[in-house]
Amino acid sequence: MNGMVSKLGWGAFAIFGAACLGVVALERGESINAIWLVSAAIAVLTIAYRFYSRYIAVTALGLDANRATPAVRRNDGLDFVPTNKWVVYGHHFAAIAGAGPLVGPVLAAQMGYLPGTLWILFGVVLAGAVQDFIILFCSLRRDGRSLGDMIRSELGPVAGAIAMVGILMIMIILLAVLGLVVVKALASTGTQPGSPWGTFTVAMTIPIALLMGLYLKFLRPGRVLEMSIIGFVLLMLSIWLGGVVAEDPVWGPRFSFDGKALAWMMIAYGFVASVIPVWLLLAPRDYLSTFLKIGTILLLALAIFVAAPNLQMPAVTKFIDGSGPVWSGSLFPFLFITIACGAVSGFHALISSGTTPKLVANETEARFIGYGGMLMEAFVAIMALIAACALQPGVYFAMNAPAGIVGTTVESAAQVISSWGFVITPEMLTQTAKEIGEPSILGRAGGAPTLAVGMAQILHGLVSGNGMMAFWYHYAILFEALFILTTIDAGTRVGRFMIQDLLGTVYPPMRHTESWTGNLVATALCVAGWGYFLYQGVVDPLGGVNTLWPLFGIANQMLAAIALVFACVVLIKMKREKYLWIPALPTAWLVICTVTAGWQKLFHENPKIGFLSNAKRFSDSLAKGELLAPAKSVAEMERIVFNQYVDAVLCALFLLVVLSVVVFGLLAALKARRTDQPTAQETPFVALAPSS
Amino acid sequence: MSAAASVRSAWRWLRELGRLIVGVPSYEAYVTHMRAQHPDATPMTYEQFFENRLEARYGKGRSRCC
């Protein structure tokens, strides 16, 4: 009887979800309310969790409640600690949710809300959450070891080394693209001044973090929460002070910089921040940014649920043909690499095989933490998409289209964007900039500012008042920048150790992580790596985000493909081939997407998409002695050609990495098929002691 | 459970979550573990424990999600 009621309940819920999804997918003409989208998302995610994740957990993987997890077996109170599953869930979610699920969907909004929504929902259910869950499961059965380690033991040392190089390349591109997001949010472009308010507020995070670091080290050691509250108050004060500074006729202009200057500051900062002790800057800022991030997500949810904005962006725009101004390339494959975090993100495989498996108290909880945690991230991505689509499309395109396409004045931007069918006047653009306390909103690509304006407008509907829009805008910018600076610092450090490790195989003294020479050389190499791409993005006439985000997307999805290939191999080695389709389906899709996207970025005849054809366009003109806009000299022309080749080489390397891991995966799978015993390298079964 | 007690337990839970999110696991659990498993060893003080965790989390940098 009870089962009957439950079945009826789920049936009714499924019909409700299908109805909401139907409204989202089929509604044309009048704008629809965000609540339809939110309801459809909640229904799809809940049903997927209840049925699909249960099927994977119980039938396909056979999670064993009696098997002791690493946290139980190796409990040391430090790294391995059996922890309440809700606490682990919160920890895991905080670790996977970053700037990615907030930026990708905003960029994808140029194709309308529908393609992004569908990819996030179907992607997460069939690919992203599956990946996070299976990798967590694998790591739980292997003493909480990392993805690279597990690949080495299941696919062989060569595959492991290739995966490591792949991870290093992703780090470099990630740091460059995130740095670019900050630069784009703050820099002046052409005749448009920069953002003194934003720049001042972001700069203030450095002394605040230093102060908090000293506080935590000497004044009140270990009082993290207390310090975070003080830091938060100081950050809010700096937002207010930023407004005062921006108004000031003397100080305001001193905080307005162009992209090149900001890029150099970022590079210098990244170098210094990653060689000084971690307690001084990195740790306190990470605490602040983590709490601020959770706060922002809650705020975004509150805004959307209470204000229930209408979506002004059409369901599908004409830019699905690949002619979009924000990023070039058609819906397939580029939508699927533009939204990575939120649908499927390879980076999560690193988190799921990082600290989380060392905390899980019972193997069966992997379903809730791995699969469920990723569903929550998808929901954040949906909310970011809503915030972007709730904006007037004209404002959205003015902020995200590069100056090379819409010009550098509000008049030219309004004219070009209106000609696309998104009617906007120069006055509306100026008015929006004024409301958020900025001199201009043009050319603020990179997601963060768009999300900030979207959130500011939605929140304004809740708490209105003089200057509230400006406050919310700069709060969102601060959150994004704080988060990104922390990533740059921590990422540079990771890159440095990886480089020391790699160089150490050639020249052993490089391996000494205590040595200052090794430290400085490897840090400089790492900073030079991402700094090069950052600077290239800043001087790129098409705005940089255009080029770098697809490269990053390809890299991230490539990592996901690697993780999923590994998951496939493990299932085969466990002799659970019957369920191979569960990881194989998303693996195939990701390999197809990354290889197609990588191929098009290399060889597409449209110079806006293909690196090589763009290089050829410039070198052909160079041969004829002509200058192509925006280059103003022969040297600039040559630099553009060179950069295109560098991007092409990188893209080819990504392709090589993913294809070779597929080959190694196939070899390992074939070998496993030849024996009739399970060959997965799990740590031996230890029974969970009854009520320990 | 009385209202006051449930507020207190919710606060404890939140505090534990807040700390774990930034890489500091429960100090109480650590001390309990040390007392039970290594009764001869002196557990670290909270301050030492905190520094130990800070170094473990950030010492080699952290690969974070995008």
Tokens at residue A203, please? 């700069």
- The residue-averaged pLDDT of A380-408 equals 92
**What is the average per-residue pLDDT within A539-558?**
83
Tell me the CATH number at A13.
1.20.1740.10
Indicate whether A248 belongs to any domain. Answer: no
Assigned domain for A369 exists = yes
> Is residue B19 domain-resident?
yes
Chain-chain contact of B65 with A97 (C-beta, under 8 angstroms): yes
Residue at B64 is within a domain: no
Q: What is the pLDDT of residue B65?
A: 59
- What pLDDT shows up at residue A635? 86
Each residue of A516-526: pLDDT tens digit?
888 899 999 99
The vertex-A50 CA angle with A44 and A52, nearest 5°, equals 80
User: What percent of chain A lies above the pLDDT cut of 90?
Assistant: 66
* Helix pair angle (B46-58, A282-307), 10° resolution: 80
- Confidence label for A196 from pLDDT (cuts 50, 70 and 90): very high
Q: Assess whether pLDDT exceeds 80 at residue A440.
A: yes
**Structural domain contains residue A212:** no
Domain membership of residue B52 (yes or no) is: yes
Cβ-defined contact of A224 to B22 (cutoff 8 Å): yes
Kindly tell me if the per-residue pLDDT of A40 is higher than 60: yes
Question: Is A566 within 8 Å of A155 (Cβ atoms)?
Answer: yes
SS3 call for A463: coil
In-domain check, residue A615: yes
Residue A498 lies in a domain: yes
CB contact under 8 A, A494 and B61: yes
- At A681-692, the pLDDT tens digits run 999 999 998 754
Return d(Cα A355, Cα A92) in angstroms, integer. 8
pLDDT for the residue A692: 45
Which range scores top for mean pLDDT: A24-38, A115-129, A341-355, B16-30?
Answer: A115-129
Look at residue A684 and tell me if it is in a domain: no
* Domain assignment of residue B7, yes or no: yes
Q: Kindly tell me the sign of the dihedral angle through the C-alpha atoms of A167, A168, A172, A178.
A: positive
Instruction: Give the pLDDT confidence score for residue B1 in this predicted structure.
Output: 64
Gap from A237 CA to chain B (nearest CA, Å): 23
| Domain contains B66 | no
User: Does residue B48 form part of some domain?
Assistant: yes
Assigned token pair, A26: 């089929």
Structural domain span for residue B16: 3-58
Residue-averaged pLDDT of chain A = 91
Model confidence at A372: pLDDT above 60: yes
Would you state the pLDDT for residue A639? 85
At A128, the pLDDT band (50, 70, 90 cuts) reads: very high
In a domain, A495, yes or no: yes
Instruction: Name chain A contacts of B25, Cβ cutoff 8 Å.
Output: 77-78, 81, 83, 359
Least confident piece of the model among A118-132, A284-298, A319-333, A533-547 = A533-547
Query: Which residues form the domain of A154?
Result: 8-195+256-674
Res. A82 pLDDT band, cuts 50 70 90? very high
Q: Give residue A632's pLDDT band: very low, low, confident or very high (50, 70, 90).
A: confident
Cα gap A112→A101, rounded to integer Å: 17
As a whole number, mean pLDDT of residues A568-573 equals: 97
Q: Which of A553, A646, A639 is nearest to A177 (CA)?
A: A553
Q: Please tell me the number of Cα atoms within 13 Å of A605 on its side-chain side.
A: 0
The domain tally of chain A equals 1
Question: Chain B neighbours among A 539-558 (CB < 8 Å)?
Answer: 552, 556
- Of A20, A14, A48, which Cα lies nearest the Cα of A117? A20
pLDDT of residue B63: 63
Tell me the chain A residues in contact with residue B60 when contact means C-beta distances shorter than 8 Å: 493-494, 497
Lowest mean pLDDT among A19-28, A213-222, A247-256: A19-28
Count of the separate structural domains present in chain B: 1
Residue A294 has which token pair?
């959770």
- Mean pLDDT of the region A632-649: 88
Q: Which of A23-32, A351-360, A466-475, B8-17 has the lowest mean pLDDT?
A: A23-32
pLDDT at A666: 97
Mutation target vs B (from A106, A278, A338; most B CBs, 10 A cutoff): A278
CB atoms within 10 A of CB A306: 11
Distance CA A346, CA A446 (A): 20
In a domain, A692, yes or no: no
